[in-house]
Chain A
Amino acid sequence: MREDILRILEKNSRIGIDELAVRIGADEIEVANEIKAMEAEGVICGYHTLIDWEKTSIETVSALIEVTVTPQRGQGFDVIAERIYNYPEVQAVYLMSSGYDLLVNMEGKTLKEVASFVSDKLSTLDSVVGTATHFVLKKYKDHGTILAKKKTDEREKLVL
């Protein structure tokens, strides 16, 4: 049941528990309890909204920053990762398998804001050896959702 719930919630976190229960053929109370349990366990970490900021008048700049660091004895990458992810403008931090160590996704209002974050905050951290900043020019697809265009139903209206 957990997987069924998660697969649906991942696509639509606003679904009502009644509809969710009907769709997976389970009892409403059981589904509610399961969701609560998963929230408590941290399996479900949050309910967010996917926004295509480009379609708003609000300016945002998004960047992917490759960060190379010196891991610290006994602590590996975790301490430096924490120092980075604590910045609220940082959206995501991943430990990577090769080429560089941490991939940081950050969002700012302007190019300048991102640039100064990298030069003032990120690069100056003790264990950071180098950074490479890539600005996102356009988001075509995010979180499994195509942002570029909406799908329309082009089928004939009646087909036997």
Chain B
Amino acid sequence: MRDPLSAVTVSLKPSGIRKFFDVVNEMPDAISLGVGEPDFDTPWHVREEGIFSLEKGRTFYTSNSGLMELRKEVDTYLTRRFGVSYDPQGEMLITVGGSEAIDLAFRAMINPGEGEEIIIPQPSYVSYEPCAILAGAKPVVIDLKAENDFRLTAEELKAAITDKTKILVLPFPNNPTGAIMERKDLEAIAPIIEENDIYVLSDEIYAELTYTDAGHVTIASLPGMRDRTILINGFSKAYAMTGWRLGYACGPKNIIAQMTKIHQYAIMCAPTTSQYAAVEALRNGDKDVEEMCDAYNQRRRYLINTFKQMGLPCFEPFGAFYIFPCIKEFGLTSDEFATRLLMEEKVAVVPGTAFGNSGEGFLRISYAYSMEALKEALGRIEHFVNRLRESI
């Protein structure tokens, strides 16, 4: 029989920590700090609106681009929160989570086999690289550095650009490091992006979870950047709606039109129930977002403080719900550390290397957990760290 498989798909690296996942799931008494989704339920008024739409029998397809009502709300929201406006008619596409939008953008913009390059700063979310490869691009990784608080610097960007560079992925606030790009950081890279005529895929799914007074700044709001930015956001993190699978992409009309075409043929439309619920989230959800953000921020401060007391170096993350402590002092790889922590103390954390080689020597610790769970887990981590130190 012929080989039924695509060589490109087969070549994709399987998630490196699959084995680790399996062990964790078979350990019922393990405390996990390994989850990348909110611990809050979707606010009740939002769930109610979803239920109501079902009761009303609103169970049909929506337009390919998504409900007009929702697209208008997205525009109002982006204008209000981040000072960028998009025409609901043509500059916006409602997708099945932010992930679909990433895939669509790459496929709509890359000419396969032409050696076009997508720059991916790492550590970062696991899907950029495979999506880039599947789209026929060559991923070019920038290893972000702890000494820069895992922000992307102008020098790093310059060094990665070639004449084949087409897209820069900007994954901030960042999963797994919690790093953000403040206005000054974005202003430093914007001229380079413009000079080299490259496009930006700005994955801002954690935008609402930014713990600075200035809040999140989107690169699309900088002069000249809007026309070369695909802004991706969604409802999963801000409104605790991961399972609803709903996100959106905003950008130049010509790009959105081609993304919509792929979306139309591959997906048809995002889930209708989720879209109705999302309208409610955007209209009346500000208070929920604020409350959840405040709770995350309290846990964030608590974790930073506790790791400081443990003597584990950890830069202060100002975004998302992760902290990224450094464990290099123990002479173990991230994988070894995480595996032993799981086996010996029954605490699951994700090795930094799951998010790129530059995550070596770090752990991703999620604080999308109750304070009680965090306290218990941190107690165990401290115990483990102390034992390691004694044995060195």
Contact = CB atoms under 8 A, between A and B. Distances in A.
Interface of A: 7-8, 19, 22-25, 153, 155-160
Interface in B18-64: 20-21, 24-25, 30, 32, 34-37, 39
Contact of B20 (A23, A25, A158): A158
A157 B348 contact: yes
Contact of A158 (B34, B126, B301): B34
Nearest to A18: B305
A151 B376 CA distance: 18
Contacts of A23: 298-299, 301-302
Interface string B57-81: 0000000000000000000000000
Interface of B: 15, 17, 20-21, 24-25, 30, 32, 34-37, 39, 125-126, 175, 294, 298-299, 301-302, 305, 348, 350, 354-355, 369, 373
B301 A155 contact: no
Contacts of A158: 17, 20-21, 24-25, 32, 34-35, 348, 350
Max chain B C-beta neighbours (<10 A), residue from A19, A24, A159, A160: A160
Contact of A159 (B37, B299, B302): B37
A22 B37 contact: no
19 contacts: A22-B302, A22-B305, A24-B301, A25-B301, A155-B35, A156-B25, A156-B35, A157-B30, A157-B32, A157-B34, A157-B35, A157-B348, A158-B21, A158-B25, A158-B32, A159-B34, A159-B35, A160-B350, A160-B354
A19 to B, nearest CB: 7
Contacts of B354: 160
Nearest to B375: A19
A153 B32 CA distance: 10
B298 A24 contact: yes
A8 B301 CA distance: 14
Contacts of B24: 157-158
> What are the 5 closest A-B residue pairs judged by CB atoms, nearest first?
A23-B298, A158-B34, A157-B32, A22-B305, A159-B36
A8 B294 CA distance: 11
Given A157-B35, A160-B15, A22 B25 contact: no
A137 B16 CA distance: 54
A22 B39 contact: no
A156 B182 CA distance: 32
Contacts of B20: 158
A160 B359 CA distance: 14
Contacts of B302: 19, 22-23
A22 B301 contact: yes
A156 B35 CA distance: 7
Contacts of A19: 302
A156 B32 CA distance: 9
A148 to B, nearest CB: 15
Contacts of B21: 157-158
A127 to B, nearest CB: 41
A20 B114 CA distance: 57
Contacts of B15: 160
Nearest to B31: A157
A155 B37 contact: yes
B39 A157 contact: no
Nearest to A158: B34
Max chain A C-beta neighbours (<10 A), residue from B15, B20, B294, B299: B294
A82 B25 CA distance: 59
Contacts of B175: 160
Contacts of A160: 15, 36, 125-126, 175, 350, 354-355
A138 B37 CA distance: 34
B373 to A, nearest CB: 8
B95 to A, nearest CB: 19
A160 B125 CA distance: 7
A144 to B, nearest CB: 12
B42 to A, nearest CB: 13
B112 to A, nearest CB: 26
A159 B35 CA distance: 5
